[in-house]
Structure 1
Amino acid sequence: MSADVTGPARGSSPASVRTRALTKRFRHQTAVDAIDLEVPAGAVYGFLGPNGSGKTTTIRMLLGLIGATSGEIEVLGEPMPGGASRTLRRVGALVEGPAFHPYLSGRANLARLDAADPHSDARTAPARIDAALDRVGLLPAATKRFRAYSLGMRQRLAIANALLVPRDLLVLDEPTNGLDPQGTREVRHLVEELAADGTTVLVSSHLLSEVDQMCTHIGVMFEGRLVTQGTIEAMHDQARSVDQAVRVETDRVDDAATALRGLGLTDVRPSGGHVSARLGEVEVAKIVPALVDAYVPVLGFTVVRPSLEDVFVSLTGEGFDVSG
């Protein structure tokens, strides 16, 4: 099937990435299903979803690495793939892990890649390469052969390659893959610095905790569909709209469960020395007095605030990897 991919009509607000009904099918499987992605200029956009949800396929279409089945793509104001020659020089990308020459050093690998870029300046290459290595913390290992690099070091070298020249858009597919906690923090700070300099950053990840800390906007993919997108503040507001839960610690869990059901709480679950329940429309202030009236000793009482994870579970029916 031939792809029908053109530039979408311009919206009223500037966007570094915009798609309309973007779709990719592989024979009988729909990997990306008519998504309308909008990445505002200057945003750090967290492209979130479980592995296999269609994130990488979408990114590959945005960068012209694979063709779309149908839909419209615009990157930095240019239709894709038609505008690739004008657009991609302004885009840095890390997609599906780094690939380098194993017997060359980190610095030599970057030198070869920079030399292959017809728009780079050979006179400034040594300074730019060392600056990129320094920015990702690899300058001390610049002369070390790539085959001796750890997985985290290889990931950082790939990010350094994306930073060899100034970029208007940086696309990072799982940039913290293989990094230890310190390396993860360094990538997070790097993304924040780039955004402060005016670069739009699209970060694909399945780690909710990282996206929550570094991003200004979020889009959630699930089974090929974009189930929601918006600002991080809007997502937190949506989290607050999810039913809150309460937890009562007591040595009379059955009596406590009966009292909570009598108040109208739902999903009441006695377990060991505590009872959990969904608050619904019940006022928090009424719960402890009702337990006391039922002669239930309250050894502890907690209101469990809903998180972004709760929002995503409500949208998809599945949890996300929230480990950092």
Structure 2
Amino acid sequence: MTDSSAGRAAVPGPAPAVIRTRGLTKRFRGGQLAVDGLDLTVPRGSVFGFLGPNGSGKTTTIRMLMGLIAPTSGTATVLEAPMPQSVTAVLPRVGALIEGPALYGFLSGRDNLVRYDSADPTADPRTRDRRVAEALERVGLAAAAGKKARAYSLGMKQRLGLAAALLQPRELLVLDEPTNGLDPQGMREIRALVREVAADGTTVFLSSHLLDEIEQVCTHAAVMSRGRLVVQGTVAELAAGARGRLVVRTPDTGQAARVLADHGVADLRTTGDRVDGEPPADGAGDPDGQLPKLCAALVEAGVRVRFFGTERGTLEDAFVALTGEGFDVAG
């Protein structure tokens, strides 16, 4: 008998995912279905944005991934281990900031971190003071390290929670609304910190209602709506899937809007000398399609066209198109 596999090159399997769910479902008492059959894959080394309208099931999903609540059905693996069964083995390899940090208000920021680190059985007490100081420095709290946590602003508390998640190198960092309460400068600093952590090889999984934030820092994203996964992929792929908007600049905005409407342009908006809208389906991205005809129709109608073109679709465009909702996310 001969081995038919002899000499055959091995076919590499897919790279292991840091997070993988299959049919993950959570139904709360009373019948509320919060997460419905979620199939999610988070590639190793990615910065993964988790998006969804209010009540879409994002935080419930994160709580299941971290073993804080058990799923009704389905499976979840984190760092290739089943959850919540492997919670004691997995969580020391994960840094997390979920629904805001839990702090001792009567302790200083530094002492809060010392308490967090002391509760970690994998933490080396000999390097504790150095690691606490480095974590405070990374999030910009070194000068406020001795202040009581109850005197911290919301943004400072967010920073302290992030510092706690960064006390040791982690394979996975899970952040639920990491820039909540921060001013614009603080938001920029946290985005830079996320990039830095990712560059060090840590996979970052973050939820955010700030779509611009996701576009700036994330490599991949998933969109949730009403407890179900709508789409997932790279941020570039998701944004490319959104149709761009036709933009016309003219002093004759009223006439331009009427001509465009007559030629099938939808969702028209006028701001100053700008008129924009969704081009007809067969014209989007097709230079030989409807767009030249639209420009010609404007000129023939006497509209003084100072600019005519299309804007690239954004992640926000894709999000609204996929969910049919806004993105004030708290779910």
Whether TM exceeds 0.5 here: the answer is yes
Q: Give the superposition deviation at 1:261.
A: 5.0
Aligned CA distance change for structure 1 residues 103 and 288 (closer, same or farther; 3 Å): same
Q: Is 2:120 aligned against 1:121?
A: no
Q: Deviations over 1:216-267 (max 9, x none)?
A: 000111111111110112112212xx2533335343734x4554355x3332
What does residue 26 of structure 2 align with?
24
Give 1:319's aligned residue: 326
1:139-288 aligned within 5 A:
139-239=142-242, 242=243, 244-247=245-248, 249-251=250-252, 253-254=254-255, 256-257=256-257, 259-260=259-260, 264-267=263-266, 269=268, 275-280=275-280, 281-282=282-283, 283-288=290-295
Change (3 A) 1:274 1:153: closer
Confirm whether residue 73 of structure 1 aligns to residue 80 of structure 2. Answer: no
**CA, structure 1 residues 258+53, in 2 after alignment: closer, same or farther (shift >3 Å)?**
closer
3-state SS of paired residue (1:37): strand
Deviations, residues 79-107 of structure 1 (Å, cap 9, x unaligned): 11111121111001001101111111011
Shift of 1:270: 7.9
1:320 shift after superposition = 2.2
Q: Unpaired segments of 5 or more residues in structure 2?
A: 1-12, 284-289
Deviation of the 1:287 alpha carbon: 2.7
Opposite residue 253 of structure 1, the aligned amino acid is G
Task: Determine the structure 2 residue equivalent to 1:13.
Answer: 15
Match of 1:112?
Answer: 115
Deviation larger for 42-51 or 153-162 = 42-51
Give the percent of matched residue pairs that are identical in Structure 1 and Structure 2.
Answer: 57
Counterpart residue number, 1:4: none
Corresponding residue number in structure 2 for 1:309: 316
**Is 1:253–1:270's contact at 8 Å kept on the other side of the alignment?**
no
Matching residue's letter, 1:289: A
Superposed structure 1 runs of 4+ greater than 6 Å apart: none
Question: What is the CA distance between 1:173 and its match in structure 2?
Answer: 0.5
Deviations 1:270-302 (A, max 9, x none): 869765443222432333332222333335545
CA contact (8 A) 2:244 2:311 kept: no
Amino acid across the alignment from 1:278: E
Q: 2:110, 2:146 within 8 Å by CA — same for their partners in 1?
A: yes
For 2:109, give the aligned amino acid.
G
Q: Is the 8 A contact 1:155 1:177 kept in 2?
A: yes
TM-score normalised to structure 1 length: 0.88
Are positions 1:297 and 2:299 aligned together? no
CA distance in 1 between counterparts of 2:258 and 2:87 reads 64
What is aligned with 1:6?
none
**Distance change >3 Å, CA 119–CA 246, structure 1 → 2:** same
RMSD: 2.1
Q: TM-score, normalised by structure 2?
A: 0.87
